Amino acid sequence: MPHTVIPIANPRPLDFDAALIRKLSQNGPRYTSYPTADRFSEAFGYRDYLQAVAGLRTRGSLKPLSLYLHIPFCESVCYYCACNKIVTKNHDKAVTYLGYLKREIEMQGRLFAGMNQVEQLHLGGGTPTYFTDAQMEELMEHLRRWFQFAPDGTGEYSIEIDPRTVSRERVLSLRRQGFNRVSLGVQDYDPAVQAAVNRIQPEAETQAVIDAAREAGFRSVSIDLIYGLPKQNVFTMAQTIEKVIKADPDRIAIYNYAHMPHLFKPQRRINEADMPSPDERLDMLGLAIRRLEQAGYVYIGMDHFAKPDDDLAVAQRQGRLHRNFQGYSTHADMDLVSCGVSAISAVAATYSQNVKTLDAYYDLIDKNELPVARGIRLGMDDALRRTIIQTLMCHFELSMPSIEQGYPIAFAAYFAPELERLKVLESDGLVTIGPEWLSVTPKGRLLIRNVCMVFDRYLQQAAPAPRGSTSYSRTI
């Protein structure tokens, strides 16, 4: 049954200025973290992570935790994909991986004993539903053995689903296992586009999963789309958007396809002659934004839209929105503990990333070591800039006096070079700069990453990120 949209005026309408976007779009970080992952160092290792957790214990931390589990397996390859994944039909590999993943969860659970209350869980990949129903049950029972989970009404427990891999019964089972939010990969409904990216997914198949999620009582259903794929054009995008609006999800994410075949082998199978031009991409984005806003969806930020009564939209209106490696979140200021290959944790003032291959992952866990490969410890300047970038990404405005209250700086003096660079963006109409507030205009919200890049010390002082860094993509 479609949800009724509460008639709340959209507080953040976008001003889509195609000419300005063409002028200012550039490669930049997505700022799921600051410093960004390309700045992590192998000098930070397992023992540094242990020290960060020990520091939490010493300070008597009572903050809730966020958990992320990375399930890297997929049955088949989608040519556009840039995720850390392993494509195999040999499900024995999942049995081995689950065993090691449970061992890592136990190691983390022992570390956080006494401060292990979880309010957020996300399973990503790959395809988390590559695990069988029985394996998922085993995993969830193991998580509850080592961590204390907040009640269903409080916690946000989400899983990414490939609609091609689950039945109605599996969706109902996922809800019984404790998940209350679900994200579905759709990308595009057009058959020619689906064939071009090797992801055949009939609309009826996706709709059946959405219907099952509603029947099961999931609190939120999210759909992921991509624009810029081969064979896409404004006409096909319009049809896809209408079908998505009809499906009535609570949240919609529409991502810009990043074509980096030199980094991701599956993308080499895409015929570049079939790719839409930059102008066609912009037209598709403009169309999607216009139709989603007409349908009552609120722009959250970056690529995300939500119904005005969705938790994300409510959190944004109330100033509680947060951003981390899982994207936008209603649960602010939590330590993020991540398990699985390539997963990134954010504990105290540190980031740490696990090794990226199964062999290295298994080897370190066999040595009873957490499989940390690299990371970074944040200094005061990092923490300050992270706060600023986080605030701008989530709320599109920044109170300079509030920053001065939280950090031992005079904003105008400390950020004098940044304020000078912001004047250029102000002349372009992206921001307004007052004596106490920095505000992003409706025209600047789609280019929020450009604004945040002004405050990125690493971009200003260090060598640029390696060519094609996976932390970077076109800002639009």
Binding residues for [4Fe-4S] cluster: 74, 78, 81
Report H helices in 150-301. 168-176, 191-196, 203-216, 234-247, 278-294
Alpha-carbon distance 294 to 207, whole Å?
22
Q: Label residue 58 exposed, middle or buried (CB < 10 Å: 0-12, 13-18, 19+).
A: exposed
The residues near 92 (Cβ < 8 Å, ≥ 6 apart) are none
Alpha-carbon distance 17 to 381, whole Å?
34
Binding-site residues from annotation: 68, 74, 78, 80-82, 125-127, 160, 187, 199, 224, 258, 344
Angle, alpha carbons 324-85-190 (nearest 5°): 90
Alpha-carbon distance 243 to 238, whole Å?
9
Query: The tokens 């954010």 sit on which residue?
Result: 346
**Which helix or strand (DSSP H or E) is residue 335 part of?**
strand 335-339
* CA-based nearest residue to 396, from 290, 301, 255, 323: 301
Binding-site residues from annotation for S-adenosyl-L-methionine: 68, 80-82, 125-127, 160, 187, 199, 224, 258, 344
Alpha-carbon distance 419 to 433, whole Å?
8
- Side-chain-facing half-sphere of 321: CA atoms under 13 Å: 27
Beta strand pairing status for 327-329 and 148-149?
A: unpaired
**Which helix or strand (DSSP H or E) is residue 423 part of?**
helix 416-427
DSSP three-state, residue 433: strand
Query: The tokens 């929105």 sit on which residue?
Result: 321
DSSP 356: S
* CA-based nearest residue to 345, from 49, 18, 42: 49
DSSP secondary structure letters along 62-82 = ---EEEEEEE-EESS--TT--
How far does CA 234 lie from the centroid of its chain? 26
Beta strand pairing status for 251-256 and 322-324?
A: unpaired
Alpha-carbon distance 84 to 124, whole Å?
10
DSSP secondary structure letters along 219-260 = SEEEEEEEES-TT--HHHHHHHHHHHHHH--SEEEEEEP---
Q: Are 182 and 158 in contact (CB under 8 A)?
A: yes
